[in-house]
């Protein structure tokens, strides 16, 4: 007759089955069947093979509770382990309601103070928070590195020359939809198209040529992180999300500007 014992191990209930020893015999009638146990059979067998393993007394669970190997959960497959650790990280990370993007006013617009002022006002009027800004001028090497992805294109040399030809202004902008909002305010890359399809956009209004098209904007969250690090190497996105983003979000949601 099968006798079932319950062992609580590491907070988990582990069910073990064994055959009852035959009457009068000091040993169990049969060694425990691995298939009758939810603890893995090999674990029990290993415990029984230990040099000091105690012989069981009839009627008691065998081997004694203290000498049993712990019941361990079988390891998760690699894919599931990654998923579980990502879910844990997401649970402990603060919520990210604000998105960051990199915006640049290119040399053609910075050369005209009124254009520069107008683009700056577009940023402010569209409820972006200006997290950081700086005026700078690139060397040719900076320009080549930043536009590496376009290095095989016909316009690459022209672009590199232009972007290192004069001062620029760079911003880290925060907004719920920072990337897509800034890209839609910029308008299409090609100025001729911008003038026809989005005449009120920044490029439609101030753009000069397909190269001298006034502004730059990150096109994805990954590009934004990479480009922000390129222009603002001292800025830590992680710290900003941890300390400043929650405050800024609270301020944006609050009607009073006293505490913000």
- Residue closer to ligand RTP (CB basis): 216 or 249: 216
Q: Find the catalytic residue in 120, 150, 196, 216.
A: 216
- Residue closer to ligand RTP (CB basis): 40 or 158: 158
Each as own residue / partner, the long-range contacts of residues 204-210 (CB below 8 Å, 24 or more positions apart, any chain) are: 205/118, 206/108, 206/109, 206/112, 206/115, 206/118, 206/119, 208/108, 210/155
190 Cβ partners below 8 Å, 6+ apart? 210, 213
The answer to whether the CB of 128 falls within 8 A of the CB of 173 is: yes
- Residue closer to ligand RTP (CB basis): 123 or 159: 159
Q: Nearest residue to ligand RTP, using CB?
A: 189
Question: Helix or strand or coil: residue 252?
Answer: helix
Kindly state the smallest distance separating residue 130's Cβ from ligand RTP, in Å.
Answer: 18
- Residue closer to ligand RTP (CB basis): 34 or 167: 167
- List the strands of the sheet with 215-217, edge to edge: 129-136, 168-175, 99-105, 215-217
Candidates 58, 81, 55; CA nearest to 67 is 55
List of E strands, the chain: 2-9, 12-19, 99-105, 129-136, 168-175, 215-217
Kindly state the smallest distance separating residue 210's Cβ from ligand RTP, in Å.
Answer: 4
HSE of 71, CA atoms in CB hemisphere, 13 A: 17
Q: Which residues bind ligand RTP (CB under 6 A)?
A: 155, 159, 189, 210-211, 213, 216-217, 219
Kindly state the smallest distance separating residue 117's Cβ from ligand RTP, in Å.
Answer: 21
Joined tokens for residue 58 = 């009839």
> Would you call 120 a catalytic residue per the annotation?
no
Kindly state the smallest distance separating residue 226's Cβ from ligand RTP, in Å.
Answer: 12
- Rounding to the nearest 10 degrees, give the CA dihedral for residues 57, 62, 68, 70: -150
Kindly state the smallest distance separating residue 88's Cβ from ligand RTP, in Å.
Answer: 36
- Residue closer to ligand RTP (CB basis): 28 or 107: 107
The residues annotated as belonging to the active site are 216
């Amino acid at each position: 007759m099968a006798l079932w014992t319950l062992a609580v191990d590491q907070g988990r209930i582990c069910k073990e089955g064994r055959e009852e020893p035959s009457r009068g015999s000091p040993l169990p009638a049969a060694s425990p069947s691995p298939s009758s146990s939810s603890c893995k059979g090999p674990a029990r067998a290993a415990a029984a093979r230990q040099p000091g393993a105690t012989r069981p007394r009839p009627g008691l669970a065998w081997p004694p509770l203290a000498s049993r190997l712990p019941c361990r959960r079988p390891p998760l497959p690699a894919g599931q382990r990654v998923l579980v650790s990502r879910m844990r990280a997401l649970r402990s990370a603060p919520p990210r309601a604000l998105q960051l993007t990199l915006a640049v006013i290119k040399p053609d617009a910075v050369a005209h103070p009124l254009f520069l002022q107008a683009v700056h006002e577009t940023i402010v009027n569209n409820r972006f928070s200006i997290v950081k800004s700086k005026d700078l001028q690139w060397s040719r090497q900076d320009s080549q590195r930043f536009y590496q992805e376009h290095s095989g294109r016909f316009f690459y040399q022209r672009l590199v020359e232009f972007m290192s030809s004069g001062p620029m202004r760079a911003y880290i902008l925060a907004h719920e939809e920072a990337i897509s909002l800034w890209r839609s305010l910029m308008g299409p890359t090609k100025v001729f198209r911008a003038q026809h399809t989005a005449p009120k956009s920044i490029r439609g209004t101030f753009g000069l040529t397909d190269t001298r098209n006034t502004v730059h904007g990150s096109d994805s969250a990954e590009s934004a992180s990479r480009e922000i690090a390129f222009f603002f190497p001292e800025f830590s996105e992680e710290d900003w999300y941890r300390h400043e983003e929650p405050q800024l979000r609270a301020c944006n949601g609050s009607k009073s500007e006293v505490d913000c």
